[in-house]
Amino acid sequence: MRSQSPLSRRGVLLVVILSPALLGTEWKCAAVSNPTVASARIDLIEPTTPRVGDMVQVTGRGEGTPPLQLAWDFGDNTFAAGMQAAHVYLAAGTYTITFTVRDAHGNINSDSSQVVVSARQSSSLLDVVQLSNGTAGELVVLTALPSQDSDNELSFLWTFSDGQTAIGPLVAATFPTAGMYGAYVNATDPSGAVSVGQIVFHIAEPAEEGLPEP
């Protein structure tokens, strides 16, 4: 009978002892590499029954592997980013607000809620005119004109779809990014009568600077 050397027997025994440990190490690595699923929840929509022109404030909560990307879709082709945002609806109707969370592993989750925006009663309409072209980062000038001549002094309040506000018949606002925006204005006279107006306008990307001549 041919016998194996002591060294050969130790080599075989060593493999048998280490194999379970190696398998256990591989299993632990697989468990660690499994990412956490992202989660999203809308915590606050205020006011819950807004009217046209009201500023709607929203707050959300997101969890997942940081950094997180937090995005809002207000259901009227306007968007915002961050845990909190504000928006003004320019038309009555039912809108779906969606809050989306994306984490560092690419996991995505979202939460949605509907909001019913009611029309605002008014005595008359205002003509809203855009006096300058809209470009990201530059002032956009708007004015509101009563559709009927009035000797009463009017108080003007503007709200923009991104949450900005302004007062007076002639206002200017700056928008940092290109896209579609809206403005809503109401004018109140000393008797309390209200006139309203609105406008939707486009903000373009800034023109690219030309390359220097050689």
Complete domains list, the chain, with CATH: 39-117 (2.60.40.10), 124-203 (2.60.40.10)
Distance, CA of 34 to CA of 159 (rounded, Å): 46
Distance, CA of 120 to CA of 101 (rounded, Å): 33
Q: Collect all residues with Cβ–Cβ distance below 8 Å to 141 and sequence separation of at least 6.
A: 130, 131, 132, 170, 171, 172
Tokens standing for residue 50: 């807004």
Q: Look up the pTM and report it.
A: 0.61
Whether the per-residue pLDDT at 107 is higher than 60: the answer is yes
Phi, psi of 66 (to 5 degrees): -70, 155
Mean local confidence (pLDDT), 39-68 = 93
Distance, CA of 44 to CA of 61 (rounded, Å): 10
Percentage of residues of the chain with pLDDT beyond 90 = 46
Distance, CA of 148 to CA of 203 (rounded, Å): 30
Decide if 70 contacts 103 (C-beta within 8 A).
Answer: no
| pLDDT tens string 111-137 | 999 999 998 776 678 899 999 988 999
* Higher per-residue confidence, 185 vs 32: 185
Quick one: pLDDT at residue 11? 47
Write the single-letter amino acid at 70: L
Quick one: pLDDT at residue 136? 94
Quick one: pLDDT at residue 210? 57
Whether the per-residue pLDDT at 17 is higher than 90: the answer is no
Write the single-letter amino acid at 147: S
Residue count (the chain):
214
Peptide bond preceding 206: is omega within 30 degrees of 0, i.e. cis? Answer: no
82 backbone φψ class: left, alpha, beta (φ>0; ψ -120 to 50): left
